Structure 1
Amino acid sequence: AGQTNYSAAKAGIEGFSRALAREMGGRNITVNCVAPGFIATDMTEVLDEKVRTMMLSQIPLGRLGQASEIAAAVGFLAGATAGYITGTVLPVNGGMYMG
């Protein structure tokens, strides 16, 4: 419950990014999204231990991600080696959501 606003915003950003990727492709500009999973932050640091344990049980890698891992994904997509990747959503979530 209470996820309507989050879900709508996420879908909007993903749709916008895909549409923009189509528009900008002719200019050789790539557009992608990074979809982080649960990341170790001040917010996750204060979670109740029961909630934290439940979250970790849903992540195949069994740990929270690090901000540096999200930054690395963004850096990859912004770099030349990802020059043929556009209009995609890159999940960085320890395997929590596979699809």
Structure 2
Amino acid sequence: MAKVMVLYYSSYGHVEALADAVAEGARAAGATVDVERVPETAPEEVATAAYFKLDQHAPVVTVAELANYDAIVVGTPTRFGGTVRLMGKAAAE
């Protein structure tokens, strides 16, 4: 059985919902799935003022965990045609 991580970043909860749907599909196909997220780096007062969804259910990923998976599915919003900076930072680590 494949072990899959669904790793995402979501400011407003839209990509969080997509990550949950991807995880559900992978589980239906027989995979063991963990959903994790990259940490929010915006100051709390900025995130609150921008109405970020700060109560996301997924734990924050650690780099050490990544090697424990057969597959990693990445979900990220786009900014000007690319991934958000946080995803690039997580990939570089």
TM-score after normalising by structure 2 = 0.31
TM-score after normalising by structure 1 = 0.29
If you compute each CA radius of gyration, which structure gives the higher value, 1 or 2? 1
